[in-house]
């Protein structure tokens, strides 16, 4: 992203910005789940992705640049994975609590961080996260919907693919334009599926307004906040703060959806947060936050 665009960003302290992004994303997820009884997970996902695409296209106007065939070959799988990730996460969210869904999904970026490493410390973080997952698997008597757990883990796998594909795309196109095009590709895939499953059959002006709020909270606002944070924060600090996301999701689920996690589930959340934080602290990656674009890895379902 060029310096003129960074200079036009609002003046917000970087830590406030990233915490605001986390709260915004999880508030958007809670609002989305509240729409499920009327629109279903597919209908809500279709509206969220479609409206997010419109907002991001208007904000970044990627049509002003020529996209090459090589860039399209990178953008299309990126957009497809983005769409699948959103749908699968919402389907998981329809079955299990928000805090638990985000915790299981968070395995995706954590897996990318430690995958392929031969360092003992990284294996330790992976084992710690695995212990967290084991605590909420249905076969240990956790009382959690088995399909919901599998869908959340699938969303995590999509998030991992999104990070890897987004890293490739970001080297070709600036983050804003890339995520706008990717979200538009996702919309062309998700909206027809939502229509085919009757997801828009009960849509009203009020529900449309609420879905617009979901799109703003889940995409436009956190994306802007992350850009502000990445301008100032070292990547390590950014990663540590983002590790709080499962805890914020659990709190959002409790406040807005009245979802209370069991002691076992709270321990699982704590273990995954500890694994993510530990992985970030012991990472050997570069520590300058402005070496990455926010679309590359942190906006999950």
Could you read off the pLDDT of 41-58 as tens digits, one per residue? Answer: 999 999 999 999 999 999
Region 77-83: mean pLDDT is 95
Summarised one tens digit per residue, pLDDT across range 224-282 is 888 777 777 777 788 888 889 999 999 999 999 999 999 999 999 999 999 989 888 88
In this prediction, residue 227 carries a pLDDT of: 76
State residue 117 phi and psi, 5-degree precision.
Answer: -80, 145
Q: What is the dihedral of CA 30, 36, 37, 38, to 10 degrees?
A: 120
Inter-residue contact 39 to 199 (CB < 8 Å): yes
* Nearest partner of 214 among 30, 20, 53, judged by Cα: 30
Q: How far apart are CA 165 and CA 84, in angstroms?
A: 14
Q: How far apart are CA 150 and CA 104, in angstroms?
A: 9
Most confident range, picked from 30-44, 115-129, 160-174: 30-44
In this prediction, residue 142 carries a pLDDT of: 57
Mean of per-residue pLDDT scores for the chain: 86
In this prediction, residue 35 carries a pLDDT of: 97
In this prediction, residue 295 carries a pLDDT of: 43
Q: Which is more confident, 96 or 296? A: 96
Q: How far apart are CA 136 and CA 114, in angstroms?
A: 22
Q: How far apart are CA 186 and CA 188, in angstroms?
A: 6
Q: List the domain boundaries for the chain.
A: 13-293
Inter-residue contact 35 to 213 (CB < 8 Å): no
């Amino acid at each position: 992203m060029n310096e003129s665009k960074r200079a036009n960003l609002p003046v917000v302290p970087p830590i406030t910005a990233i915490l605001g992004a986390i709260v915004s994303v999880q508030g958007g997820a809670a609002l989305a789940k509240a729409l499920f009884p009327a629109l279903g997970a597919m209908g809500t996902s279709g509206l969220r992705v479609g409206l997010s695409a419109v907002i991001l296209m208007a904000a970044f106007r990627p049509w002003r640049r020529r996209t090459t065939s090589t860039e399209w070959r990178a953008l299309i799988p990126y957009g497809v994975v983005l769409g699948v990730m959103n749908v699968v996460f919402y389907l998981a969210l329809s079955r299990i609590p928000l805090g638990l869904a985000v915790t299981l999904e968070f395995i995706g970026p954590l897996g990318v961080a430690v995958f392929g490493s031969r360092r003992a410390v990284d294996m330790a973080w992976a084992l710690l996260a695995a212990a967290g997952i084991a605590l909420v698997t249905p076969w240990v008597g956790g009382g959690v919907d088995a399909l919901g757990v599998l869908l959340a883990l699938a969303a995590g796998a999509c998030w991992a693919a999104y990070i890897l594909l987004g890293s490739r795309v970001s080297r070709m196109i600036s983050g804003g334009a890339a995520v706008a095009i990717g979200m538009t590709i996702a919309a062309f895939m998700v909206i027809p599926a939502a229509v085919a499953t009757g997801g828009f059959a009960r849509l009203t002006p009020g529900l449309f307004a609420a879905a617009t709020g979901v799109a703003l909270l889940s995409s436009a606002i956190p994306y802007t906040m992350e850009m502000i944070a990445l301008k100032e924060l070292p990547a390590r600090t950014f990663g540590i703060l983002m590790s709080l996301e499962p805890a914020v999701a659990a709190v959002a689920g409790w406040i807005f959806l009245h979802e209370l996690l069991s002691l076992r589930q709270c321990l699982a959340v704590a273990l995954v947060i500890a694994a993510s934080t530990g992985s970030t602290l012991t990472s050997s990656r570069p520590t300058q936050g402005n070496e990455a674009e926010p679309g590359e890895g942190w906006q999950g379902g």
